[in-house]
Chain A
């Protein structure tokens, strides 16, 4: 199954990522599907991560954690977050097929980030519900 999104939908999603996340100071944010494809990404212009590899690993990581949750009888873990010395990575499931990954420094609190990610995720979910699969 292949799918596509319209230019206008992609523009709207990038605007949401920019305004809700990059503008509050996150370093890099990307919307991916569970297959590891990148749908949209935005960053603060100062970093150059290999986003395609990150997307593949993030999708795999999320899939592995979800499978672990099922084995121990949890539907899913609600907070998926990796903390580093300087950089942190946060995963937010949008729906069954899409994930929002945010990379941010210690200057942003996790609580504030989760709030903003939650708002962005809700708006993106609305756009994705318009998705057309041929």
Chain B
């Protein structure tokens, strides 16, 4: 639920990184925070457990400049991926404008990806939103693990599992190394902004 403030000439947009636990959602935000530290004036907020898992959410506000004379304030959030944090995960999705689904490319996590995207569909339906209508980008994370000989799900299989109906942009990425992290973010921001512009016309 983006909010447009004509007084401050400002638009606030909420983008949520969703996906299975330990898939690299927080790592995406940490990379963005490091890469753009000169432009991000505040600290990244994280609520995590002692075991370093996201308990509630991570939050990173990010000014991306002006569109049509309005300052765009993008608020990046992550959800906790672990199944047991279902209640808090759902809370974070309230008022979401755009989604990055971070899938785990490791072969052993294939089922977890499928389960998580189904979960996303249900969570969105809870707010009367459709996964087919909301701006969404897929990210196949951890492709760098191939170098270490860890078996990965082939991209064609990930596409078939997760993107056969959505038919949206998907990026092969390594959140740890930063490969395609910025590209993923740029894509979801541009998709989300153009949807908001259309809605407000």
In the complex, chain A residues whose CB is within 8 Å of the CB of B47: 60
In the complex, chain A residues whose CB is within 8 Å of the CB of B126: none
Whether, in the assembled complex, A45 has its beta carbon less than 8 Å from a beta carbon of chain B, the answer is: no
Interface residues of chain B: helix, strand, loop or mixed (majority):
mixed
A39 touches B45 (CB 8 A): no
Q: Which of A19-72 contact B (CB under 8 A)?
A: 33-39, 50, 52-53, 56-57, 59-60, 63-64, 67
Whether, in the assembled complex, B52 has its beta carbon less than 8 Å from a beta carbon of chain A, the answer is: no
B4 touches A2 (CB 8 A): yes
A3 to B3, CA, bound (A): 5
Within 8 Å by CB of A35, from B1, B6, B57, lies B1
A44 to B122, CA, bound (A): 43
- A-B contacts, CB under 8 A, total: 90
Nearest residue, chain B, Cβ from A71: B87
Instruction: Give the Cβ gap from B32 to chain A, nearest Cβ, in Å.
Output: 16
In the complex, chain B residues whose CB is within 8 Å of the CB of A84: none
Within 8 Å by CB of A52, from B42, B57, B96, lies B42
Whether, in the assembled complex, A1 has its beta carbon less than 8 Å from a beta carbon of chain B, the answer is: yes
Interface residues on chain B, size class: 20 to 34
Nearest residue, chain B, Cβ from A2: B2
A37 to B4, CA, bound (A): 10
In the complex, chain B residues whose CB is within 8 Å of the CB of A7: 6-7
Within 8 Å by CB of B96, from A6, A35, A56, lies A35
B91 touches A63 (CB 8 A): yes
